[in-house]
Amino acid sequence: MNKDQIDISIVIVNYRVKEYIANLLKSLENAKSDFTLQTIIVDNNSKDDSVSYLKSRFPEVTYIENTENVGFGKANNQAFQIAEGKYTLIINPDTLVSEETLQVMVNHMEQNPECGASGCKILNPDGTFAPESKRSVPTLRTAVSKVLGLNNLFPKSKIFGKYYLGWIGEDEAASVPVLSGSFMFWRTDVLKKLGGFDERFFMYGEDIDLCYRIQETDFHIDYVPTTSIIHYKGESTRKGDLKYVKIFNKALYQFFDKHHSSKYSYLFRGLVFTAIWMRVLLSFLTSNLLFLRSVATDLLLLNASVIFGFLIRFSFSVEVFTNLQSLKYLWINVLASVFYLTVGSALELFRQRRTSISDPLKAVFASYVGVAVLTFFVRNLAFSRLALIYGLIGGVLLIIIHRLILINSSKTGSKVTGRISSSKIILVGSETAANPIKQQIYSRPDWNYDVVGVVRPGEEEGNYVGSLSQLRDLIRAYNIDQVFFLLASISYKTMLQLITTLQNEKVIIKLVPDTMDFILGKSNVEYLERIPLVDVGLSYTKSFNRFLKRCMDIAISLPLFLLFFPVGILSFLFANGKKERVRNVSLIAPFSENGIANRFLLLWNVLIGKLHLVGARLDSGEIQTFDYKAGLTGYSQINKKRIRTSIDSENYELYYLQNYSIWLDIDIMMKSIYSGYSVLSDLDSANNN
């Protein structure tokens, strides 16, 4: 190509996705080859440090900073005005390209002079093919087929599958009517001749409109599947939000109104408008189906607990089921449900991706308190207080079980609380790149990742669990939840090829850019630096929290102590060993061999306040600050495999003190039981060393 001019102008619109853009720019840099690039980023008033963040890393890029969010189409048009390349690539910020992508697209355009624009194969983050890679212009027939799901039932039909051109294979090159706005490779002169995007489309629909208008020229659009990109799909928006659904469907009506309204009567246009807004509601409900199912399950469990308390109160009497007088108490279910939804909304319990345990318990408690207070003042709704107490206990248990199932069945979470087992991950990259990443992951006490091993990208020797060809088998063998690709030591092309082979493995794919300072997932960015830990405002030091902790110690240790008192006292009297002082308590060594007697002694020391159930390590030097006593288990103890240095140990202890709550203690005890942790084994190991 002529080196006296810019070969490709690359246009990216940013709205609060700076980390994704940084990754995209790096992949474009790797794909640059011998081309001269002009990269233009238009920031749509992100109101964060996006521009300064990107400028410090990519100073050669041209930046346009808007003082308001002007929309996708208008922002792109601002960049088109200064685009000087022979070709212009319009690309979404939440994408990344393969090393050969630019070369493949330029070659295709050079070999096909009548091609005005082209697109490539687009992959979803899980490796599946994104059908919007090739589309047709939406018509009434294609819209009806899509809304009714006929395009999914008959994807290869030229009648019902027309929206995504299902009869054209994902690896089959073809001329197509519409490209996805996430990747459009244009001849710049054609793009400018068309006047760029129609700015009446704020977001969505402008890509369809632009592709539709190319029909007025002598050029056509091609789908080129010989290269691929990955698209995270709308990381600057949330597709479950009603606002997104409204904008998307409004764009469809704008397109219909602009290009087809003159053909139809006002009545028919009104029917189309009504149908589109009915689709808004349907799309919103469909995209929030899992979320709505979770809310419905919470309400079902709450109502079941109310009925459960009523039945226990009346000893499951047959009359309870046959007495019509009992039906009036269904008002209690209605009241409890209203209170739950009201309090839950105030706690933002019903937001997507919320998997809190404490918040639904607060809502359940508030529901029962509200019912008790209201029925006290409204005598017509008078209800057994004992039945409410039974129902509250049942509701708490059911909600805890439900939330624990939700948290532990998900593979996406990196956070700790509520997840009994660690999220198993495997790193794909060189050992040189993997070692610092492992250390950074383990230095984060707020994460719950367990690095199973590293998969080597080449033939190098080292401490690897396998090679790239074995990746799918390793995922199955180790029951892997997430795969991290380390882009510092593996090519984008290889990574994209591997992702396509994993699309049926139900694993979460995440990327670690070669800067190795954050992790990119489908819907979140996780920074790898240590979290700030300071000795101020620690939750543990609050008097009320200390009181609750003491109450929990007594409530759990007292019944256990009384239950095992006969066996414990006999084991203590006939113990075969010598007494040894550990911190400020006396135990009998060898500790594990005298397990019953030592557990009895440990429970006694918890009762009298010398130990906590959850506290500092008993096998190390005592932490004097904040009266932080040793415990039978603790945050450091259950994470001892992840702690590599004394600094890590200190971070884990400080994290616990900063984030202390009774729920965190319960979570630690559950994980200790699940993992089989034994404080006596730790003491034996410390003695042997």
Q: How do the domains of the chain map onto residue ranges?
A: 8-135+176-231, 242-287, 289-409, 423-527, 539-688
Cβ atoms of 464 and 492 within 8 Å: the answer is: no
Yes or no: say if 67 and 45 are a contact pair by the CB < 8 Å rule: yes
- pLDDT computed for residue 530 by the predictor: 59
Phi and psi of 14, rounded to 5°? -110, 135
How far apart are the C-alpha atoms of 618 and 632, rounded to whole Å? 7
- Using CA atoms, how far apart are residues 555 and 225, in angstroms rounded to an integer? 64
Quick: pLDDT tens for 420-461. 888 899 999 999 999 999 988 888 888 888 999 999 998 888
- Is the Cβ–Cβ distance between 657 and 628 less than 8 Å? yes
Residue 534 has pLDDT above 50, yes or no: no
Confidence of residue 574 (pLDDT cuts 50, 70, 90): confident
The confidence band for 29, taking pLDDT boundaries of 50, 70 and 90, is very high
Both tokens assigned to 36: 């001269």
Owner of token pair 């001749």: 193
Instruction: Tell me what pLDDT residue 240 has.
Output: 45
pTM: 0.79
Q: Where are the alpha helices (DSSP H) in 260-380?
A: 266-287, 289-313, 318-322, 330-346, 358-377
pLDDT of residue 343: 86
DSSP annotation of 446 reads T
Could you tell me which CATH class the domain 8-135+176-231 is placed in?
alpha beta
For residue 519, the model assigns a pLDDT of: 82
pLDDT digits over 52-62, tens only?
999 999 999 99
Q: What is the mean pLDDT of residues 350-365?
A: 75
- Pick from 386, 342, 383, 387: nearest CA to 364: 342
Question: In this structure, are residues 253 and 246 in contact, taking their beta carbons and an 8 Å threshold?
Answer: no
pLDDT at 269 over 80: no
Q: How many helices (H) and strands (E) does the chain have?
A: 25, 20
Residue-wise pLDDT tens digits, 479-527: 999 999 999 999 999 999 999 899 888 899 999 988 767 788 876 778 7
pLDDT of residue 249 exceeding 60? no
Q: What is the pLDDT of residue 625?
A: 52
* Contact yes or no for 510/519 (Cβ under 8 A): yes
Burial of 373 (0-12, 13-18, 19+ CB in 10 A): exposed
**Confidence check: pLDDT of 612 > 80:** yes
Which tens digit of pLDDT belongs to each residue from 626-685? 568 899 999 999 998 888 888 888 888 888 988 898 889 999 999 999 888 999 998 988
Structure tokens that stand for 439 in this block: 């250390």
Structure confidence at residue 601 (pLDDT): 94
CA distance 276 to 284: 12
CA distances from 15 to 46, 50, 352 (A): 5, 8, 21
**Rounded average pLDDT over 218-235:** 88
652 in Cβ contact with 638 (< 8 Å): no
Alpha-carbon gap, residue 650 to 635, rounded angstroms: 11
CATH 3.40.50.720 given to domain 423-527: yes
Residue 533: band (very low, low, confident or very high) from pLDDT cuts 50, 70, 90: very low
Residue 144 has pLDDT above 70, yes or no: no
Helix, strand, coil percent values for the chain (each to nearest 5): 50, 15, 35
Decide if 172 contacts 104 (C-beta within 8 A): no
Over residues 249-273, the mean pLDDT reads 57
Give residue 400's pLDDT band: very low, low, confident or very high (50, 70, 90): confident
243 to 205, 248, 249: CA distances (angstroms): 15, 9, 10
Report residue 416's pLDDT band, with 50, 70 and 90 as the boundaries: low
Rounded distance between C-alpha atoms, residue 237 and residue 242, angstroms: 11
Q: Give me the phi and psi of 153, to 5 degrees please.
A: -75, -35
659 CB neighbour count, 10 Å cutoff: 16
